[in-house]
Amino acid sequence: MDKKYIALIAVVVIIIVAAGAYIGFGSSSDDGTINIGYLPSDHDASALIAEAQGKYEKEGLKVELKQFNNGGDLMAAMASGDIDVGFVGITPVLSSISKNVPVKVVSSVQNEGSGIVVPNSSNVKSVSDLKGKQVATPGVSSIQYMLLMYALKNAGISIDDVKVSDMKVAQLVDAIRTNKLDAIVAYEPYVTQPVEEGIGVEIASSHDILPGHPCCVIVAREDFIKDHVDALKKILNIHKETTDEINANPEKAAESLPKDLFNVDVEKVAMKNVQFTSGLDDSYKDSVMKFQDIEVELGLIKTALTKEQIFKDI
């Protein structure tokens, strides 16, 4: 064969290989690793405990857990293809799906588990006292921000009447400790922590604000569902198994959470404020649809999504 043709073929092969590598770069599963996003919260305890106990590895799954401060950041990572599966609040999920991010809710994770906390020295005794005050949440895309809006509305106050800022959850407790904020809206254990430390008072739990509301769910990218459904089924089975263990003995489960992230004594209290769940049934789907109606009413979502747009039974 002519050397020119051999050289030409070699160049074409290099281009094809390079193009293939480039095209595949957006998929975080190309090397067999499943990237699972989560928040530093006991809401996502089942993922953290499963990883700590080696359950993913035992099922032959190569999993890497990646931490995010809030659901908006996690969903942005899912939109870019950096995350395959996420343990995340339903509020940023609904917002993302409404913006055509190709994900589906494949399981419930937990209900409630958030709250509004003020410093011990505060004269704020109820939600109605928050008018004109400085309040921080994990972010405007978070379920905590949505709960704040809903609580204020029920108290006859507009979100515009409150000075709201975003802050990393770990810093929220410090802000209470140093009286830099009038109130925080956080997810557990950052609600229980200041109370247990004696530096804060919870003026409203998410149970008080919206009883039984859905919170975190498991979402998966649609391409991951299509190409790795067997792996996803294993993840969901592990989630159910671990959730059942948590519900059977939450104090024992607290001891399996990462010690560098959580205080065991705080967790033994905080986890009792969370309703841990798994799977998808009609009742749960209906609760999400009712929750979505409130988000539409609050202006967080322009148009309600259908169940088919939100959920995927695996």
ω into 189 cis (within 30 of 0) = yes
Fold exhibited by the domain 114-209: D-Maltodextrin-Binding Protein; domain 2 (3.40.190)
CATH number of the structural domain 34-108+215-310? 3.40.190.10
DSSP conformation letters of 32-46:
SEEEEEE-SSGGGHH
Burial of 249 (C-beta count, 10 Å sphere; 0-12/13-18/19+): exposed
b/e code 41-74 from CB counts within 10 Å (16+ = b): bbbbbbbbbbbeeebbeeeebebebeebbbbbbb
Amino acid identity for residue 12 in this structure: V
CB 280 within 8 A of CB 236: no
CA 85 vs CA 24, 81, 224: distances in Å: 18, 10, 8
CB 113 within 8 A of CB 210: no
| CA–CA–CA angle 83, 24, 234 (5° rounding) | 45
CB 117 within 8 A of CB 184: yes
Phi, psi of 57 (to 5 degrees): -65, -40
CA 134 vs CA 12, 130, 163, 199: distances in Å: 61, 8, 5, 17
Q: How many Å separate Cα 90 from the centre of its chain?
A: 7
Q: Where in the chain is the domain with CATH 3.40.190.10?
A: 34-108+215-310, 114-209
**Residue holding tokens 């917002």?**
95
CB 255 within 8 A of CB 264: yes
pLDDT at 6: 35
Digitized pLDDT (tens) for each residue of the chain, 314 residues in all: 443 333 333 333 333 333 333 333 344 556 789 999 999 999 999 999 999 999 999 999 999 999 998 999 999 999 999 999 999 999 999 999 999 999 999 999 999 999 999 999 999 999 999 999 999 999 999 999 999 999 999 999 999 999 999 999 889 999 999 999 999 999 999 999 999 999 999 999 999 999 999 999 999 999 999 999 999 999 999 999 999 999 999 999 999 999 888 999 999 999 999 999 999 999 999 999 999 999 999 999 999 999 999 999 99
102 in helix, strand or coil?
coil
Q: Nearest CA to 173 among 114, 254, 118?
A: 118
217 in helix, strand or coil?
strand
pLDDT at 30: 63
What percent of the chain is helix, strand and coil (3-state, nearest 5)? 50, 20, 30
What are 288's two structure tokens? Answer: 């999400």
pTM higher than 0.75: yes
